[in-house]
Amino acid sequence: MRTRIISLAVLTSVVATVLFAVPLGVALLQYALQHQWGHLVRDASDLAITVAGDVYHDDRIDPEVLDDIGDDGEAVAAAVFDRDGQRLAGAVPDSDAGVLAGAFDGEVSTATDGDLWVVAVPVTHSDEVIGAVVVTQSRADVLGAVGLMWAGMAGLATVAVAVAWLVGRRQARRLAQPLEELEESARRLGEGDFSIRTRRGGIEETDAVGAALEATAARLDDLLARERAFSTDASHQLRTPLAGMRLRLEAALERTDVDPRPAIAASLVDADRLEAIIDEVLTLARADQGARTGPVDLGTLVGELSPEWDARLALHGRDLEVRIDPGAPEARASTAAVRQVLGVLLDNACTHGRGAVTVTVREATGAVAVDVSDEGPGVPDDGRAVFGPRTDRREGHGIGLALARRLAEAGQGRLQLTRAAPPVFTLLLPAVPVENRDAREVAAVGPVSSG
């Protein structure tokens, strides 16, 4: 990639330089030629004015006047002719005498003779042409000067291409380095390293790719963490009921004189408990993936759970009391998640509590609260470890309070111990906004027709 970027930068520089330099060089050559023709015409005109008096009086022309024509270093030659075409002074090629006819007609005449430029200017006296001045110069003088300017332009073009190469190299490094780092990060991510961090290079596109790669790594890390937690929770939750079932069946096999049907019936009950535990742990594993939320009528939900738990408590001579605040709003949560959390709280009160169990649904500030309490001795140590991992798992009941709290928090709720003794656990859930409740009530009533 770096080579392609550098090559593209150099090629662009070369093309731009050629497109600019070639027309400029041609224009420079044309300007130099025109300038030199004008310079020769001026030199010839100045010489014609200088020698006009000598030609008119037939005086001898000073050779130094002819030698001083032109700038230093220029190969300029000059000659003076009378009206009859006889050379009075100076030396120019004989072939250049052909331009005299135009000068004798009173016009400035120019011509090229091989590598020479030839200019003929009339010598006049009182508007009468009395002779002519011929000036010649080698084209090599002008082309040499133009060649030097072209060489300077070529040097500047070389510098421009070199600068483009340096800039292209720097930009190639700036562009390629973040991509190479992204490639390395992607390779590490493929090998299972989810701690990758990409360096921001100041390029919006590559920085966005790096941020997306980091987010992907975080999601994969979180997914694997949930999978590991699920495996750990599932193995822990299933181990105790499976061990009890195995012991019960082994005891039934060893005691051939006892009817095995009670042991089989108890094992079926344990199988049902195992199925419920699997459902609970699966629900927890999916909780962080975003459960479907919606309005939940907590009074109706608690009413659905009441018969089952009332029967379970009655087996131990205990009662279940349900209190529903008529003004309590609906909650916005996942019905399945709320059902699981309430099941954990009721199972905890049934297994570890004493006396009657009370479920209260009430309105809280901006939320809906569900209190589950019993008349037991309470939670030891002021409840500091009640939500710790694997608290009270010896009986293998439910998903545990720690995991129930995670399930509640996944639905934007909270589960907390509001009183240690007698224990009161409170589930706080966000309430449905008032305008949403009003809209549903209007939809339920339907349009009202007038008289």
**Closest by Cα among 183, 177, 164 to 2:** 177
The chain-wide mean pLDDT, for the chain, equals 79
Residue of higher predicted confidence among 175 and 388: 175
Q: What is the mean pLDDT of residues 316-330?
A: 90
Band of the pLDDT at 449, cuts 50, 70, 90?
very low
The helix-helix angle for 139-190 and 2-56 (nearest 10°) equals 170
Q: What percent of the chain has pLDDT over 70?
A: 82
- Which of 54-58, 226-230, 321-325 shows the highest mean pLDDT? 321-325
pLDDT given for residue 398 in this prediction: 43
pLDDT given for residue 67 in this prediction: 79
pLDDT given for residue 391 in this prediction: 47
- Give the domain ranges of the chain: 2-149, 218-287, 294-440
pLDDT given for residue 2 in this prediction: 72
- Which of 18-22, 85-89, 236-240, 355-359 shows the highest mean pLDDT? 355-359
Torsional class of 70: left (φ above 0), alpha (ψ -120 to 50), beta (otherwise): left
Band of the pLDDT at 258, cuts 50, 70, 90?
confident
Its CATH class, for the domain covering 294-440, is alpha beta
Going by C-beta distance under 8 Å and a sequence separation of 6 or more, which residues neighbour residue 223? none
Residue 89 has pLDDT above 70, yes or no: yes
pLDDT given for residue 57 in this prediction: 85
218-287 and 294-440 share one CATH topology?
no
Band of the pLDDT at 291, cuts 50, 70, 90?
low
Q: What is the mean pLDDT of residues 440-448?
A: 47
Is 360:316 a contact under the CB 8 Å cutoff?
Answer: no
Residue 324 has pLDDT above 50, yes or no: yes
* CATH superfamily, domain at 2-149: PAS domain (3.30.450.20)
Residue 450 has pLDDT above 50, yes or no: no
Q: What is the pLDDT of residues 170-183, one digit of tens each?
A: 877 777 777 777 77
What 8-state DSSP symbol labels residue 70? S
Band of the pLDDT at 277, cuts 50, 70, 90?
low
Residue 365 has pLDDT above 70, yes or no: yes
CATH topology of domain 218-287: Helix Hairpins (1.10.287)
CA-angle at 250, arms to 246 and 253, nearest 5°: 145
pLDDT given for residue 234 in this prediction: 61
